[in-house]
Structure 1
Amino acid sequence: MIKGEHFPNADRRAELLALAGKLRPELHRYCSRLMGSVIEGEDVVQDTLAKAFIALDGLSETPPLRAWLFRVAHNRALDLLRSKAVRVSEPIEAAQNVIDERNPDPLEALMRQEAVRTAVSRFAELPIPQRSVLILKDILDEPLADIALLLDLTVDSVKAHLARGRARLRDINGKASQFSEIKPPSAVVARYVALFNRRDWDGLRGLLADDVKLNQSTHPVRVGSADVGMFFSIYAKIDGVWLAPAWLEGREVIAVFENRLDAKPNYFMWLEWRGDEITFIRDYKYVRYVMADAELTFAPEALDIGGSGAS
């Protein structure tokens, strides 16, 4: 029967959907460092899941889904990196100073801790093979054999990339500035934040272009000022939300505090403009794991924008 023919795909899709929900934060930790950007990393995660659902129907056998998703994500990220002409790989040297994972020692732990503390953007300075291996081993704690299988390398090659990647990352961290440039907010973003913090929803709707789009990652994209205007109706029902202009990875974003007294923002959004009109809103409310690796900077005056008249 035709119905029966669809059951296996339906089962696989259900399994993939359940796994994707659990695996998204881990996929993002990998993709964001591979891309050198938490924003671009989430774009890769979204592309990965969309491609995976389409590709699943064409597979004659169900692969181990976790490893398969990572491979799809890895390949998608590499496609984007190649299109950006990121530096190519370097020659492999013999593996040295990589401790056997069966016998870890304190030095091994320190190297992993350094990778975890390193800013996402700095990973982009590593050649792609070193970057991939370092993230999988030191950030996600994957076994060497599994990394070799995912990246189609020998275990010895994985060890060599890991040794060189760790050495280079240590050098990058040693030369990197500890201070981010603090920039004032642009006039359009400052106006948006002030209107939001005054709960002037009609004023915010007046900023929307007719063809504006809203992307909330796990939700369908909203298109058009009327539909996107509902975005503000939802926020109008939530007490205490407070916005502040910020910068992330050289991009002007808006930090969202669910309570103004919170020490750190809960998530962020960013906008695209055409003159004084908003053409695109990307809201990360439903993928808050992105904040785990996001390093936002604020101008001193940014946290007070829209203070008067706010509820």
Structure 2
Amino acid sequence: MTETALDRARAGDEPAFRELTEPHRSELRLHCYRILGSLDDAEDLVQETMAAAWKGIAGFEGRASMRTWLYRIATNRCLNAKRDAARRAPVASPAPYRVPEANGRNEVTWLQPYPDTLLQRIADGAPGPEARYVGREAVELAFITGLQMLPPRQAAALVLRDVLGFPSAEVADMIGTGETALKGVLQRARASLDKHRAGEAPPPPGSDIDRDLSRRFAAAFCAGDIDGVVELLTDDAWLSMPPTPETYRGLEAIVEFLHAGAAWRGGHVVRLVPTRANGQPAFGYYLAENNRTPAHSAGLVVLTLSGDRIRAVERFLSPGPLHHYRLEETLDAAH
């Protein structure tokens, strides 16, 4: 940040303001996503953050860095959004076929995946030296889901301190508390998050196990080979379709759900196009009437891997803009 650019921005120069703030846009979007669990909401909140920063730049005294100042604004905008009674989870359309009764319920129905292409655009995402959760671990779906289960201020404190590594004094100031109180907030948040996250560590992205599980799942799923899909799952695996609240936990429940879907699908063709989200294997999900007709997007499937098996299959009906995943809305018959 140059003093000249800041002086120009304070004087109302929009290009100078963008020069100061645009380098932080991608990491602010990820920050808002972690707290809100929704890519759509994160996009909106970053816009609000930039609008508020532009409005307040004349009073910015530079006591903290531009990055810290923007994070303070973004965090408070996110906390306000979480408290807003008007904020509602997306309404799920009923399934086009009779689904079996679920044996679990998803409390985080607003969750959306986060495209790996957007993770790659973060220029300076290196956390501070005291961060507890780093790299892939801090973007996995299980981690993001766990954050949504926390009270908003606990989630914000944990992300700022344990993911981004901001100093305790700055975090306390950002969320409006004292450093002593912050310690208690973080202790409770860490304990709750650790209870939510379980399972073996996933294989490294792009490893032989990662690629093999993805390939075998896609082949079995597209072929309607339910036994082949189940063979890849852990005994405690689950299947869900956010924003619907129903969750199918355990192999028996998943098999029943897959059979119901296969019966409805009939002669329709399923196509899965590989991509990645939240550092995990993912697929664009497409349906076609037959092999000679175009296939239309019907969501995004994300796999959570555990050791050499799949622990969760989540099909997101509203994953956000497909171009972020380098996917098309429609595939021609020759795809």
Q: TM-score, normalised by structure 2?
A: 0.46
Q: TM-score, normalised by structure 1?
A: 0.49
Which has a greater percent of helix? Answer: 1
